[in-house]
Amino acid sequence: MTHLSTPAATDPAATARETLDRATRRLLDLQLPSGAWKGELETNVTMDAEDMMLRVFLGIDTAETRDRTARWIRSQQRADGTWATFAGGPGDLSTTVEAWIALRMAGDKPTAEHMVAAREFVLTAGGLEQTRVFTRIWCALFGWWDWSELPAMPPELMYLGKHVPLNIYDWGCWARQTIVPLTVVCTLRPKRRMKWDLAELLTGTTPKSQRGGVPGAFNKLDKGLHLYHRHAIGPVRRNALRRAAEWIIARQEADGGWGGIQPPWVYSILALHALGYPLDHPVLRAGIDGLEGFVISEDTADGPVRRLEACQSPVWDTGLALNALLDAGVDPRDPALRRAADWLMAEQITVPGDWTEQRPKLPPGGWAFEYANDNYPDTDDSAIIVMGLRRVITTHGPVQEQAVSRGIAWTAGMQSKDGGWGAFDADNTSGWPAQLPFCDFGAVTDPPSADVTAHVVEMLAAVGRSRGARCQRGVQWLLDHQETDGSWFGRWGANHVYGTGAVVPALVAAGVSPKAGSIRAAVRWLEAHQNPDGGWGEDLRSYDDPAWIGRGDSTPSQTAWALMALVAAGELGTSLTRGVDYLANTQQSEGGWAEDRFTGTGFPGDFYIAYHLYRLIFPVWALGRAVQALHGGDRGDPTPRSSRPLRSSDTSRGPRVLLEVSEVATRESDQ
């Protein structure tokens, strides 16, 4: 793709406007006929390796799926023989082991040059013994690891009430959905032996989970659970397995999956199969068939490849795109925005989910991230969607009003006791699950985070509730969680640039003065971390190594996050201009941007995401706000016009939903 040169005009507003216009046209061109937007959600090859292992284990693999998957995995191997968890990151032991196993299943000889290079890294990094528990579970399924040497996770967890430590609702929703089926798998211990072993990947060292990495009491608990496994009370265990199976089946989604994400989907299939469900049972058939909807197939110079998305993000992408286009100046009556609004209204979840364990009286009304995940709507999507949906002028006024009212009430009602918002659950802050030897990979709870809380605060301010108790408690939570350097940690995006880019606009929208010390500190941090090319970037290694905080190659999405914060803070000078110039200089001829780095976060330190639409949506959003500010429309009020709450007289710009919400919405949102 060719890049466009910076517009000849020296006026930064003109540069921003021309760059924005091209990007807006590109984003509109990418809308699906349904009205949604959906970009690829790219992760790493563990998705593809585990898909192959699942199919081999179930006996449903084919030469075609093996060949295409293996071709993709080989294409992602780095020059040093390893596979990483994100582009440009260091080699990862568990990812490399799983990729090596998948290629071995596909027929690659262990003596092949690329296999030898991977093996050498594995041995240098500690061997199979030092991989994560999930990798060794896969090895146990094929007889390469002893089930008794894995941490115990009994299905009797299903008996624990929600006030008992380590009950399943102590876990975050993604972990809960994975742990329940794994209690079945790790209890029944199914095995499908291969004709070859993994002896060449072993070093003879002590496995990681047995090296005292958790408090002694939990190591003793694990030993006790292993002892119980050998002497489990038959009826008690059988009933626990039955409860687990019923829980799993009750949470299967319309697309056949579980939670819309790969781990619980795959382990639920394995669990039910281990319990004796045949592959042609409707539940398993739907689950296996549904995975095909996550497959991306394409032709490459080396031949056709097959890769699996870990998740899909159409609701999130559409909500973000809607806000970006509105702030870019697209008419709220535009047919494209109306189609998007209609699609989002149809996606609203109006049935209870697992979140009712903590908020049993709260009426439903949120949105999920994926096409199908009714059990787990999330506050982040819901806040973003409410901000956009309320501003579109549709032909379904009453339905739209009800959707927005429900969304406000549900999202606000999910506030945690400390004033912040987690993504999927309220008050999901137990410290117990993370202490178990089993939990050596990824976040397992869902405590409030700065980025999610910021989006909810900005939404509440946008609907005229900046002075409400919920919004004010959210503002205080954000102020209390500012880092000493002036930034905010980013839980779901990389990293402090994402957190700061979300929080500053929210605080200003909620009434914090751009001159306040917290905002000034954030601006200083952003300006200090602007790259020489005018952009911003933060390497994902910042989650593990503080030396990387705010440092990394510039990317369009991260630059956009920083620009949104600067605009909100009223900083329209050199830093903003240089950031706009970076976007103008790197824009491609069709109006979009290239972005090789991953800037999304699944589990800090462990699992990362490249959202393929971030590189376009966020620049459109940031440039739209910058154009408004640079043209003087918002001088003295850095909150974009389109984000301000409508007044009752503003009937020409959108539905009158903000000051006329239902009694339930008002009660739930302002308490």
Active site residues: 380
**Which residue, among 62, 131, 51, 63, has the nearest Cα to 91 in the 3D structure?**
131
**Which residue, among 139, 151, 229, 247, has the nearest Cα to 192 in the 3D structure?**
139
Intra-chain end-to-end CA distance of the chain, in Å: 52
H helices present in 311-426, as ranges: 314-327, 335-347, 379-389, 397-413
E strand map for 558-632? 600-603, 607-611
3-state secondary structure of 300: strand
Element (H, E) at 651: none
Residue 200, token pair as written in the block: 């060449």
* Beta bridge pairs of residue 300: 303
Q: Beta strand pairing status for 295-300 and 607-611?
A: unpaired
- Cβ proximity of 445 and 500 under 8 Å: no
Q: How far apart are the C-alpha atoms of 468 and 408, rounded to whole Å?
A: 13
Q: How far apart are the C-alpha atoms of 506 and 513, rounded to whole Å?
A: 11
Q: How far apart are the C-alpha atoms of 372 and 258, rounded to whole Å?
A: 9
- Cβ proximity of 151 and 144 under 8 Å: no
Q: How far apart are the C-alpha atoms of 84 and 78, rounded to whole Å?
A: 8
- Cβ proximity of 329 and 641 under 8 Å: no
Q: How far apart are the C-alpha atoms of 370 and 318, rounded to whole Å?
A: 11
Element (H, E) at 299: strand 295-300
